[in-house]
Amino acid sequence: MGKALGDTEIRRFREDGFLSPVKFLEEDEALGYLARLEAFERDRPALAGKLDFKANLLLDWIDGLARREHILDIIEDLVGPDILNWNATFRFKVYRRMARSAACRRGSGRRLRPSPGL
């Protein structure tokens, strides 16, 4: 048993290489972060949709989200206690909206190969 995840979830991650779904925010908290993001994009339209690199350095609330104890407990359960947040990419997609992120496009020609390390 981990700090935040059960043995079954940890085993699934180790067997499958991913774990989904993982709830780490309540709905009202998620709506609060969405409101902050929408306010940021409304106030700075030139930066809308451009939080793909080091968003945690630009917006302190994204940095705070990445440092939440529950989120860190989930990560620690999966990879161990040595955690470094090098980069926080912040992308979202509005439910049922047809817009797509370039990183999520199917058939983009990317081929992923297993990496021997993390």
CA–CA separation, 36 and 29 (whole Å): 11
Q: Answer yes or no: is 111 within a domain.
A: no
Q: Answer yes or no: is 94 within a domain.
A: yes
- Is the pLDDT assigned to residue 43 strictly greater than 70? yes
Triad 68, 99, 46: Cα angle to 5°: 70
Q: Answer yes or no: is 86 within a domain.
A: yes
Q: Answer yes or no: is 59 within a domain.
A: yes
CA–CA separation, 109 and 32 (whole Å): 36
- Is the pLDDT assigned to residue 18 strictly greater than 60? yes
Q: Answer yes or no: is 48 within a domain.
A: yes
CA–CA separation, 36 and 39 (whole Å): 5
Contacts of 42 (CB under 8 A, 6+ apart): none
Q: Answer yes or no: is 70 within a domain.
A: yes
The total number of structural domains that make up the chain = 1
> What pLDDT sits at residue 117?
47
Higher pLDDT, 51 or 25: 25
Q: Answer yes or no: is 114 within a domain.
A: no
Q: Is the pTM of this model over 0.75?
A: no
Q: Answer yes or no: is 90 within a domain.
A: yes
List, for residues 64-77, the tens digit of each pLDDT value.
988 999 999 999 99
Q: Cis peptide leading into 45, omega within 30 of 0?
A: no
- Which residue range forms the structural domain that includes residue 46? 7-104
What number is the average pLDDT over the span 24-35? 91
